[in-house]
Amino acid sequence: AQTVTQSQPEMSVQEAETVTLSCTYDTSESDYYLFWYKQPPSRQMILVIRQEAYKQQNATENRFSVNFQKAAKSFSLKISDSQLGDAAMYFCAYRRGYANAGGTSYGKLTFGQGTILTVHP
């Protein structure tokens, strides 16, 4: 079974600074996707960024970027120029790829425990 571990229960950053959230995962599969989700107090889970395992290039979305180390099974999220609106719970998640799932059961997300990010003005 796949597992996702976030070892930082809480992180804090000053506004406009950079912060990195850590995530490690364990899998024996070769085809999979990794995600970072943001969950503000409103509870709405919002996709921040995704990475396909077969792509060597790290994904980037505006101020958000990842450091994907496939051999080390590490997937960290870097937030640059932090803003007050970035404050939330962040979850790392794993999803098996179609090639490993035998067809229809590949949508399930396996989440880490989450990291609470506080942004100080």
Partner 1 sequence: EAGVAQSPRYKIIEKRQSVAFWCNPISGHATLYWYQQILGQGPKLLIQFQNNGVVDDSQLPKDRFSAERLKGVDSTLKIQPAKLEDSAVYLCASSLDDGAGDNEQFFGPGTRLTVL
Residues that bind partner 1 (CB under 8 A): 4, 42-47, 50, 91, 93, 98, 104-114
Vertex 13 angle, CA 8 and 15, to 5°: 155
The pair of structure tokens assigned to 1 is 């079974």
- Distance in Å, CB of 85 to partner 1, minimum: 18
- Distance in Å, CB of 16 to partner 1, minimum: 29
Nearer to partner 1, 16 or 47 (CB): 47
Q: What is the rounded CA–CA span in Å between residue 38 and residue 90?
A: 5
Q: Provide the sign of the torsion angle of the four alpha carbons 70, 5, 95, 18, taken in this order.
A: negative
Nearer to partner 1, 5 or 14 (CB): 5
Nearer to partner 1, 107 or 121 (CB): 107
